[in-house]
Amino acid sequence: MFPRPTPSARRYTATALVLGLLGGSLTSGAWAGARQQPPPAPVTRVATAAGTGTALTGYAIQSSAKVTDAAATVSSPGYPATGWYPAGARSTVLAALLADGVYADPFFSTNQQKIPTADFQVPWWYRADFTVQDTSRRTYLDFSGVVSAADVYVDGHRVATTEDVTGAYTHHELDVTSLVRPGTNTVAFRIRPNDPAKDLTTGWIDWLQPPPDRNMGIVRDVLVRRGGPVALRDAHVDTRLAVPSLATADLTVTAQARNDTGGPVTADVTGTLGTTTFTRRVPLAAHETKTVTFSPADTPGLYLTAPKVWWPAGMGGQPLYDLGLTASVAGTTSDTAHESFGIRDVQAPLNTDGARRYRINGRPLLIKGGGWSPDEFLRWDSRYVEDRLKYAVDLGLNTIRLEGHLEPDEFFDLADRYGVLTLPGWECCDKWEGNVNGADEPGEPWTDADYPVAKASMAAEAARLRGHPSVISFLIGSDFAPDARIEKTYLDALKAADWPDPVVSAASDNSSPQLGRSGLKMTGPYDWVPPGYWYAKREGGATGFNSETSAGPSIPTLDTLRRMLTPAELDTLWQDPGARQYHRSPSSVFGTLKIYDNALIGRYGAPKSLADYVRKAQLAQYEDVRAQFEAYGRNATETSKPATGVIHWMFNSGWTSLHWQLTDRYLDQGGAYFGAKKANEPLHIQYGYDNRQVAVVNNRHDAAHGLTARAALFDPDGTQRYAASVRDVSVDGDGAHTTPLTLPASVSGLARTYLLRLDLTDATGREVSRNVYWLSTRPDTLDWSGTTWYYTPTTSYADLTGLASMTRVPVSATAATTASEGTSTTTVTLRGTGSGRTPVLLADVHLVDAQGRPVLPVRWSDNEVSLWPGESVTLTATYRTADLHGSAPGVRVSGWNTPERTVPAG
């Protein structure tokens, strides 16, 4: 994540690879007191056909402190797992106990503190039964995602030790053909406790309060694979797209054919790719493995004309190709392999300033993204993940960064489908950087035993990710770059895996011996700074590629706050800035909201209630997040020190949080969300806090012509003090900007707190962008000399207290809903009905059910809109009909100076 002066700035725990929405229900609170007769773990029926892989459907788990039987007994069919807990196919220990109702909801209040950590400082058993009918086939156990290490047993026999199965990312294939029998078989994992300071796994750093079990468990599928004498492994397609023409592409298909018998065999390897079929006869000696390659030189069908090119969202479509391979011996299928891939080209050279600049299919791309967090207990829920990736597209983001926490295959399948680029990499502040992060940092130095684990981890992830067009790089370092030996370990593994994309040495401005400079910076901030901060071309401002940064706290909506905190905690939230906030961070640096609250009070005035605190927070978060993305967007095409990328830290949180999130745990949306959505709209008019210039940024590919830009300044009561407009504005595409006008340095009679309204219309007079700012004649003043690794102090605040004087303006709302094929669309028309001049500032619309609860997730065409008297706007909300749970929809309208009301939307 980021460097800092003392180890107390971060705390650490382990994690791995999955998420979801399950929560524990309220019970007595200790696993030893849970019910003693849980339902038996399901028995997995393994498919017989060669080339199939069947995922184990679940486990029975128990602490080794409660199991006195020998490992051979525990791992034998028929063992009575009395009193054991059921666990899903991908489940940490604590996730299983939560699902079984052992603990109260850990996302509420401080319930998680009541879970005893001592229960997870001993190994836990994972046990599953599976049935095999035909033992003439070869049988393999295929898995990764064990956190952190395990002894593995099959039918009473140990087949691997913790020295063999260690590291959350290492891939393992165990041939158990000689052990399986017709009927029921058993596999058992004795999983060692995890310690990210000692193990090459994953940790939570300072994102949230770490889970008491440190995510020990199995968090990816364990497959039982069946096959014949010859196995196909490591199938993949290397693509070479002609750039910039995009007219042709060369494809090279590679796979490993492995003879698993003690005698010679001949295999016919046949592939299909679209309408192209190709085959090769491959003789194999006993236990021999050969690389089988098909290329345009020997297979003309692998030279494509007019290929279907994959693009990030907003730049084009996301077509995918499918490869199928079959190995046959004596006319009988022995194994199969299937791979999905996309055709696209990624380049990421350093510009003249040393910043990394990505190009996709020959076109420059400003990376705009967010940092990804899985569920704290690594529970996987495909729909929940899909909803969040749809949110990323809705926000106009194009990239998700994964610092560790490299999600299961389905995550990257979804990213491919929705056109969301991903930047996976290893994480900071634990064993991964133990050799390079300094004496004051956590993470033990590597021993000789760690290098093969690291190499195996890199090889496994490279093989898993290389075919996904959404994956555009791998970051082999985070806060620090690896040293020469570790870098070589990674690069050798990447080369052997035919890794196709740029490899980056670090997420910070560090270098490694072979790769050189990272081209990224990690200069903060991570706590509150004013909106004008982002325009300075220094520290975390809009120049270069900032791999993780934001203005820190992100207070969720009142609906979410009431779901996560007690009434007493809610009182403390708005009344005591110096109070430790359990739902912010375990870090001593980020444990309170003092910096944020001081700014909120200094700029907007002291909150008068919880509701007032939250509404001020939404304004503050809207303006700050908007400014962050607007500054990077405007500066992307500048000739001097351009911005090349920005990752908002973070996109989401893995639990109920008070910081680092554009959307909260429950997928509710507030000021941070809609500030980002506004800043990243396709054709956008914006204000520069640094130079008062009004810019038009075009994120579309095609140029725009015949635009009209308007700017007007108002006192809070709606008195207009200035207006200007410019016609026939043109702006090129691909992120270009133009500056049609500059606001005057001073305007006679303008109030200290004032409003700026910007409008952009097309040649037909249709409004294509509206943007409203609340500003002050007294600007925020930054103390750059006092900059730390996490923020730059503000010595005086902008005076926005004049917003409190705005007259409350009623808003009329009408809404109607239509539904089709499981999706509902609610159309809402808002109209300012006040009789005076005062505008409605940031009117928020929430879709609610009959009980007034938010219906989530939902995607709005726009929201948190401002209206002048007599104006109206029509918004649409799209969501799953099932999420109404049979209720009639309603629309709740509120805002800075708008009385709250709810109208029916059925």
Which among 370, 402, 237 has a CA at the least distance from the CA of 310?
A: 237
The token duo for 495 is: 């080369």
Active site residue 623: no
Q: Are 826 and 816 in contact (CB under 8 A)?
A: yes
Contact 368, 396 (CB under 8 A): yes
Q: What is the largest CA-CA distance in the chain?
A: 94
In the DSSP assignment, the letter for residue 122 is S
For residue 546, give the 3-state DSSP assignment: strand
| Secondary structure of residue 255 in the 3-state scheme | strand
Parallel, antiparallel, or unpaired for β 516-517 and 511-512? antiparallel
Place of tokens 């260690």: 166
Beta-bridge partner residues of 521: 546
Question: What sign does the dihedral 645-646-652-654 (CA atoms) show?
Answer: positive
Identify which of 430, 459, 406, 452 has the alpha carbon closest to the alpha carbon of residue 163: 452
How far apart (Å, rounded) are the C-alpha atoms in residues 309 and 307?
6
Instruction: State phi, psi for 94 to the nearest 5 degrees.
Output: -70, -35
d(Cα 756, Cα 773) in Å, to the nearest integer? 5
Give SS3 for 567: helix
Q: Where are the alpha helices (DSSP H) in 435-566?
A: 450-465, 484-496, 558-564
Record the tokens describing residue 486, joined without a space: 């570790």
Annotated catalytic residue 569 = no
Contact in structure between 407 and 17 (CB atoms under 8 Å): yes
Q: State the DSSP code for 248.
A: E
Picking from 38, 34, 57, 62, the residue whose alpha carbon sits closest to that of residue 47 is 57
Token pair recorded at residue 413: 């399948």
CB-based contact 310:319 (threshold 8 Å):
yes
Contact 893, 900 (CB under 8 A): yes
Question: How far is 468 from 414, CA to CA, in rounded Å?
Answer: 10
Catalytic: which of 441, 548, 624, 799? 548
> CA-to-CA distance for 43 and 411, rounded, in angstroms?
27
Residue 825 and residue 881 in contact, taking contact as beta carbons nearer than 8 Å = no
Do β-strands 643-648 and 544-549 pair in parallel, antiparallel, or remain unpaired?
A: parallel
Asked whether the beta carbons of 561 and 555 are under 8 A apart, the reply is yes
H or E stretch covering 232 = strand 230-241
In degrees to the nearest 10, what's the CA dihedral of 443, 445, 449, 453? 40
Q: Roughly what angle, to the nearest 10 degrees, separates helices 671-679 and 610-635?
A: 20
Strand order in the sheet with 358-360: 346-347, 358-360, 363-365
Contact 559, 584 (CB under 8 A): no
Residue 557 Cα distances to 56, 518, 593, angstroms: 40, 37, 16
* Of 227, 250, 223, 247, nearest in space to 239 by CA: 250
Selecting among 345, 416, 433, 479, the annotated active-site residue is 479
Backbone angles phi, psi at 840, to 5 degrees: -90, 125
| Contact between 176 and 205 (Cβ < 8 Å) | no
Which residue do the tokens 């975390």 mark?
540
Residue type, position 699, single letter = N
183: helix, coil or strand?
strand
Q: CB 730: neighbour CB atoms within 10 A?
A: 14
Task: Give the catalytic positions in this structure.
Answer: 479, 548
